Amino acid sequence: MLSSIHLGNMEVKIISREIIKPSSPTPHHLRSYKLSLLDQIEIAESIYIPLILFYSVASSDPGKRSNILKESLSKTLTHFYPFAGRVKDSFTIDCNDEGAIYMEAQVATDMSTVFKEPESTNLLLSLLPCDPLERFSEPSAKVMVAIQVSFFACGGMAICACVDHVVADAAATATFLKTWAAVACGANYVDNDLIYNRTSVFPPLDLSGFSKQFAGEKKDKKVLTRRLLLDGSRIASLRNEIGNGLCSYRPSRFEAVSALIGSAIMSTTTKKDETFPMVALAVNLRNRTNPPFPQQCIGNIFHLVQVEPQMEKTFNRSILARKIHESINKVDDNYVKNLHADGGYLDIIKNLVNNKIIFSCWCRFPFYETDFGWGKPIRIATALGIERGAFFLDTKDGEGIEAWITLAEEDMAKFEQDPDILAYTSVNGSI
């Protein structure tokens, strides 16, 4: 046993830790992977994207499952060779085949404990192979991918992948997991659209001064992450209500839920005479440029889009939904290329360093299709807690949304008692 973690009623014992390298060496001419501006920004932020997949399997041998996972991960890294490299400098990843971390753990309780505990989001942290917000003095010391496979007493298992945001956004993380699962099931995977040069559209810049802004951004104050569940019927009701208000159209699931949560955060956390925080949306650009980027290509291909600031004294979620809708719709090929032609995107990011709310939608990505050979996951989760950040995941039926929200402790207490949050959501919830 390497280490043991106790959180609440759950004990997690780390029983092994090793490095998994690509099954075939990366050719010399592919060793240098050029970063785009969107990747460079993530070096400054220093974040892993953590995704946890829960499986209900009680019949197969854990050792056999682990061997399948390790062998298929090694083969998968051959195709995702930047994922096995290390950051060389602010412009390049050295695809040196140093590999990914792979850890195994035993959990002396049933898997349902993770979701039945009132503070279940804290328990999820013990299933992660690393801190998703951990900072490194030298980026070259940071692995691109870390995996933890946890075996529960009930026979279930959780596979957590932490992927460095430098090499992947949420869409690319979904592609990586889907590919890894396909290889585990015997697929002979080859896809020439994975490694796609994006530097002509998002040219890299010298961000040495910009990095210092993020270095001092993290605060010491205590924050809490909560999982809010909105089932399909409640979302449908919310969309209808907003559509009958000042919107004049029926908003999407993301627009409606973002407006609900955003208006609640503003009304419960903004003090008198303070300006409302800015709202920013992570918008996937893969199908918004001409020509479009391949859906499966890796890297960061999204923009944070700033919503027009709130001016009204009384906040109305229908107004916010309309502004969110307008902000998303303006992102097209001309918008993207004009913004990067004059460095405008970097100005937007600088304005959003402080006093912002960020919504990122991971819905419609095929996380629930990730089958390694013992069935599809029964639940997915994340444990990325960025203050005033909200990450949206599908429920298993594809109709509902799980919103993972992080706020300062004192703000969360007020937010959870907001009448609209109480009316449309349930907190945490059992498996």
Domain boundary residue, one of 184, 201, 232: 184
Give the pLDDT score at 216: 47
**Same structural domain for residues 166 and 272?**
no
Give the pLDDT score at 312: 61
Answer yes or no: is 210 within a domain: no
Answer yes or no: is 193 within a domain: no
**Same structural domain for residues 167 and 241?**
no
Answer yes or no: is 108 within a domain: yes
**Same structural domain for residues 270 and 138?**
no
Give the pLDDT score at 315: 65
**Same structural domain for residues 178 and 224?**
no
Answer yes or no: is 114 within a domain: yes
Domain boundary residue, one of 160, 184, 208: 184
CB-CB contact of 233 with 127 (8 Å) = no
**Same structural domain for residues 171 and 60?**
yes
Give the pLDDT score at 431: 37
* Cα 221–Cα 226–Cα 231 angle in degrees, nearest 5: 160
Is the peptide bond preceding residue 291 cis, with omega within 30 degrees of 0? yes
Give the pLDDT score at 410: 92
Active-site annotation, residues? 165, 371
Give the pLDDT score at 113: 84
Taking 70 as the pLDDT cut, the residues of the chain under it are 1-9, 58-59, 117-120, 137, 211-220, 245-247, 272-273, 310-315, 428-431
**Same structural domain for residues 77 and 158?**
yes
Answer yes or no: is 189 within a domain: no
| 223-230, strands of its sheet edge to edge | 302-306, 278-284, 356-361, 389-394, 401-408, 223-230, 426-427
CATH number, residue 387: 3.30.559.10
**Same structural domain for residues 351 and 420?**
yes
Domains held by the chain: number: 2
**Same structural domain for residues 226 and 360?**
yes
Task: Provide the domain limits for residue 257.
Answer: 217-427
Tokens standing for residue 85: 């490299």
**Same structural domain for residues 134 and 242?**
no
CB-CB contact of 224 with 393 (8 Å) = no
CB-CB contact of 106 with 155 (8 Å) = no
Tokens standing for residue 123: 């328990």
**Same structural domain for residues 115 and 246?**
no
Tokens standing for residue 153: 């007493």
**Same structural domain for residues 226 and 367?**
yes
Distance CA 76, CA 40 (A): 24
Q: Which residues pair with 152 in a beta bridge?
A: 107
pLDDT one-digit tens code per residue, 273-302: 677 888 999 999 999 999 999 999 999 999
Answer yes or no: is 341 within a domain: yes
**Same structural domain for residues 149 and 223?**
no
